[in-house]
Structure 1
Amino acid sequence: MPDTGDVLSTGELTVLGRVGVASNVTLVCDLATAEGAVRVVYKPVRGEQPLWDFPDGTLAGREVASYLICGALGWTVIPETVLRDGPYGPGMVQRWITTRDPRAAADTRLDLVDLCPPELVPDGYREILRAYDGAGDEVALVHADDPRLRRMAVLDVLLNNADRKGGHALEAVDGGVYGVDHGICLHQENKLRTVLWGWAGDPVPGDLLADIAAFTETLPGESADRLAEYLTDAEIDALLRRAKRLLDDPVMPFPETPRPIPWPAF
């Protein structure tokens, strides 16, 4: 089969349905290839809700920029993503991630990010906060202490991700852990909002720091040239500052904003 990125850029899209819970138009499509249909997500630019604090570019462009940064780091956190034309005009097209089914009879694990009674937080999970559910019962917001998820958390710091909800971290049937929905990223001001605060104050692993150091050598340079199609110069400069800050002080940050967790959290 051809390279997935090439397939996403050229195959014909057939819309199957719309994701109703998404705030922007998000369409599930089949993409025709010589080897058969490939399931993808298509987010047309014309379906984006304008955001006063992200006036430049498009959400689709920020999703592509996030994927390019992830790829330049040598990480596979974000599924293959392109900007292309589609049935409703230009938009982002991304490979669909098939996730494990937590309702399967033999699968009793929590999701990567989940809620549980505070007294039942399992080993291998980090508690983020406690709150009360709709029935008035106390619950703990937790996430897995998983190196695949930790790499996503480091990527979110670099991307300045303002919307890492629990439902945006997917454990796939192929064994990978993927992050989706990166349209609200890469602002030049600090807007980090995430459910992945469990590593705050912990050292950034050395192998990830090595990847970040190599990435900074391409900014400004080849990576900056590719990102310039989607981001402003100020946003690219801010990305480089965030990367260098992690190298100078290789510790996962603590929350610095009044609203460090997105709402809703899932």
Structure 2
Amino acid sequence: MSAPERLPPRGVSAVEPDTPVEGDAQVTAELLARGELTVLGRIREASNAVLLCDVAHDGTTARCVYKPVAGERPLWDFPDGNLARREVAAYLLSEATGWGLVPTTVLRDGPYGEGMVQQWIESDDGAEAGLLALVEGDEPGEGWKAVGHAEVGGGRTALLVHADDPRLRRLAVLDAVINNGDRKGGHLLPAPDGRLYAIDHGVTFNTEDKLRTLLWGWAGEPLTDEAVEVLLRIASETADGGPLATRLAELITAAELAAVRDRVAQLLETRRHPVPSGQWPAIPWPPV
């Protein structure tokens, strides 16, 4: 993540940053939900208001991101003031997979009203280069999967590729389940410990097929046995009365929850990664 643009203090003071909380997600969730938020600044590149904060509780301080509902820009295809809840829903579904792809995320009140608060992840910038690339020619090369050709200026094109990485493949499955309409390269955060995190999940859970992603390299290929096992578990937990269904029902509509079940059922029926529908742009813009 890039350095934030400073905000007027509005009654909150900045403090020196501490290292992010690591380890048990439940402990981190309690800190994010109950701690006092101190706004440090605004992250400039985001289309909605994204505030960099410190959160402190019982002597523990950590870095986090706070996205207030009041700072969300209206979208024609999503209800107003609902993106923060979708971010939390995406986190819950990620946790249900056991893959831990989304940083710990909670819904709470903050200095600018209700919003989502998410654990800050320090990204390994060097590792980011190993996930996405533009290459000459029509073949991705060993260890890479082709997404498609992209214009690079001067009338030239290059082949957009992503790594043939099991972490990305798991994320492609999660995105298919939550119907992610905006999986860009900048949303991928490889951590120094080797884990991969993904952020920015406000544009998810629509009832219509809006999957837009840079991770089409496995399109049409068989799902891994691991993915099938995870999807079977998700199908059980999102069934009527299931623990995940109960929690998601507090965040998304009944129709959107039913669409989650339908997407999981479709993936289990085909046992393959989805392919672009042709009814919606397959790749987000800008891609990074």
User: TM-score if structure 1 supplies the norm length?
Assistant: 0.92
Higher relative contact order (CA 8 A, sep 6+): 1
> Which has the higher mean CA deviation after the structures are superposed, 46-55 or 56-65?
56-65
Q: CA deviation at 1:35?
A: 4.9
Q: Secondary structure at the match of 2:47?
A: coil
- Work out whether residues 84 and 115 of structure 2, in 8 Å CA contact, stay in contact via their aligned partners in 1: yes
Q: Which runs of 4+ in 1 moved over 3 A?
A: 33-36, 116-122, 134-137
User: Would you say 1:169 and 2:193 are equivalent positions?
Assistant: no
- Residue aligning to 2:265: 244
> Which has the higher mean CA deviation after the structures are superposed, 125-134 or 63-72?
125-134
- Residue aligning to 2:85: 61
- Residue aligning to 1:233: 254
> Which has the higher mean CA deviation after the structures are superposed, 156-165 or 127-136?
127-136
Q: Which residue identity does 1:235 align to in structure 2?
A: E
- Residue aligning to 1:199: 218
- Residue aligning to 1:16: 40
In 1: Cα distance, 2:177 partner to 2:139 partner: 33
C-alpha offsets along residues 191-243 of structure 1, whole Å, 9 cap, x if unaligned? 11111000011111111211110121122222111111111100000100110
C-alpha offsets along residues 111-147 of structure 1, whole Å, 9 cap, x if unaligned? 4123344489553111211122235443221111000
Query: Cα distance 1:130–1:8, how it changes in 2: closer, same or farther (>3 A)?
Result: same
Q: Secondary structure at the match of 2:110?
A: coil
Q: 218, 227, 246: which is aligned to 1:208?
A: 227
- Residue aligning to 1:159: 178
Gaps of 5+ in 2: 1-20
How many residues are matched? 261
Q: Which residue identity does 1:187 align to in structure 2?
A: N
User: TM-score if structure 2 supplies the norm length?
Assistant: 0.85
- Residue aligning to 2:16: none
- Work out whether residues 113 and 169 of structure 1, in 8 Å CA contact, stay in contact via their aligned partners in 2: no
Q: Secondary structure at the match of 2:158?
A: strand
**What is the alpha-carbon root mean square deviation over aligned residues?**
1.9
- Residue aligning to 1:85: 109
In 2: Cα distance, 1:151 partner to 1:232 partner: 25
Q: Which residue identity does 1:259 align to in structure 2?
A: P
- What are the within-5 Å matches in structure 2 for residues 67-216 of structure 1? 67-102=91-126, 110-118=129-137, 121=140, 123-216=142-235
- Work out whether residues 74 and 81 of structure 2, in 8 Å CA contact, stay in contact via their aligned partners in 1: no
Query: Cα distance 1:136–1:45, how it changes in 2: closer, same or farther (>3 A)?
Result: same
Q: CA deviation at 1:52?
A: 1.3
Q: Which residue identity does 1:12 align to in structure 2?
A: E
